[in-house]
Amino acid sequence: MVEPEPTPAKPGISRRGLLGLAGAGVLGAGAGLAGGIAVDRFALPPSAAASPGAGTVYPFFGEHQAGIVTPAQDRLHFASFDVADITRAELVGLLQDWSAAAALMTAGTPVGTYGAVNGPYTAPPDDTGEALDLPAAGLTITFGFGPTLFTSADGTDRFGLAAQRPSALVELPHFPGDMLTESLTGGDLCIQACSDDPQVAVHAIRNLSRIAFGRASLRWSQLGFGRTSSTTTAQVTPRNLFGFKDGTANIKAEQSDVVADQVWASRDDGASWMHGGSYLVARKIRMTIETWDRTSLKDQEAIVGRTKGEGAPYSGGTEFSEPDFEAKGQGGAPLIAADSHVRLAHPTMNSGAQLLRRGYNFVDGNDELGRLNAGLFFISYQRDPAKQFVPIQMNLAKNDAMNEYLRHVGSGLWAVPPGASSGGWVGETLLG
């Protein structure tokens, strides 16, 4: 009979946070973590069947968090959390534990042994195990802080953070047509896990949720199966569920000046702890695809302002040709209609504002009328939502011909702090 050898207790990477938790008497499932998070000595080698490139590892530590300008991976598991009634020290402990676990998982390593650290055998496994044989598959884990972490809904300053809330971390306004569901909105914390293997992304969110037990709990979450944006020039432009290429004009990592100007927050923006961070907007957008599918190709293309096959602007050229909004067709009408999506979303129509988009297609089963519950889980990163996402979306919500086929049902905004320095933790610039 094969039985794992006993593993002696060893100091955990983030013992401090866990001891803080234990001190508060909030143990529960955390008991299995009593020895802290440790590198798995039993970790198995990556599967031989893994496809080439599946071993891609993006560093967790660095100036910026990974998962923003990182080449958009194919799959997403996004999660929003509510923080429990804990102290500031316990919040710090959670962020330390999350960072330590994220550093392990993004390296393709379990968050602990699949057996227990202290045990060997009579405690729950530290790692849930479903990714044991899988490589990192480009996993990135990106953490964000919602407005309610700084100022609770009831106005209290739970963690002494209200004075450090960035002015860019606004409450998103109600946009015309919004049909938001409260249970798909907001959250004190968020985690974006992206990977080329969905099981790796799911494993990350599951284990981070488990580590948070008693300190934060899942508020809402979303799986996305297909990326809808490229974030580097080397990536082929993918298609959304309208069947159109999406993200042709997205900010690309190689555009270093644009990234610096539009994506990364600066210490000069007012919240110095956010220097090197960004702001994440998520919108769950249901598409009424059955109605769209009954719309003529002509109308579909006019609404988008691009051709369906090539993705070229309606003013001519190929996919990456700049749209010519002045070009006129027969009768003097603009070739790219005034209410087309490409025109209304273009930087020239929005005071130069751009977004780094990182959204995903989703299908959540079907509704009782037999329609697929499908759409776009929109994610964008920007330096200042009040100057970028908010005015662009207000313009679209008021004027975009595409609105007839869209329903915004979920929403959230989070401040995404800078990356952690080696051995540090995300949020250290705010709470350290």
Q: By CB under 8 A, what part of segment 330-369 binds a second copy?
A: 335, 361, 363-366, 368-369
Is 116 a binder of a second copy (CB under 8 A)?
yes
| Beta pairing partners, 374 | 363
Secondary-structure breakdown of the chain: helix, strand, coil percentages, each rounded to the nearest 5: 25, 20, 55
Shortest Å distance, C-beta 264 to a second copy: 27
Shortest Å distance, C-beta 167 to a second copy: 31
Shortest Å distance, C-beta 268 to a second copy: 38
Positions in 4-23 near a second copy (CB under 8 A): 4
Positions in 129-148 near a second copy (CB under 8 A): 129-133
Q: How many CB atoms lie within 10 A of CB 340?
A: 26
Positions in 49-78 near a second copy (CB under 8 A): 49, 51-53, 75, 77
Q: What are phi and psi of 351, to 5 degrees?
A: 55, 30
Shortest Å distance, C-beta 207 to a second copy: 9
Is 39 a binder of a second copy (CB under 8 A)?
no
Is 25 a binder of a second copy (CB under 8 A)?
no
Distances (CA, A) of 310 to 277, 313, 316, 424: 35, 9, 11, 46
Q: What is the spatial distance between Cα 214 and Cα 265, in angstroms, rounded to a whole number?
A: 32
Nearest partner of 423 among 174, 8, 104, 67, judged by Cα = 104
What single letter denotes the amino acid at residue 317? Answer: G
Exactly one of 32, 67, 146, 375 binds a second copy (CB under 8 A); which one?
A: 32
* Separation of CA 152 from chain center: 22
Q: Using CB under 8 A as the criterion, what x/- string covers residues 300-329 for binding a second copy?
A: x------xxxx-x-xxxx-----------x
Q: Which stretch binds a second copy (CB under 8 A): 162-170, 233-241, 270-278, 400-408?
A: 233-241
Size of site (CB under 8 A) for a second copy:
93
Q: What is the spatial distance between Cα 89 and Cα 99, in angstroms, rounded to a whole number?
A: 15
Q: Which residues contact 348 (CB under 8 A, 6 or more apart)?
A: 325
Exactly one of 63, 157, 171, 293 binds a second copy (CB under 8 A); which one?
A: 293
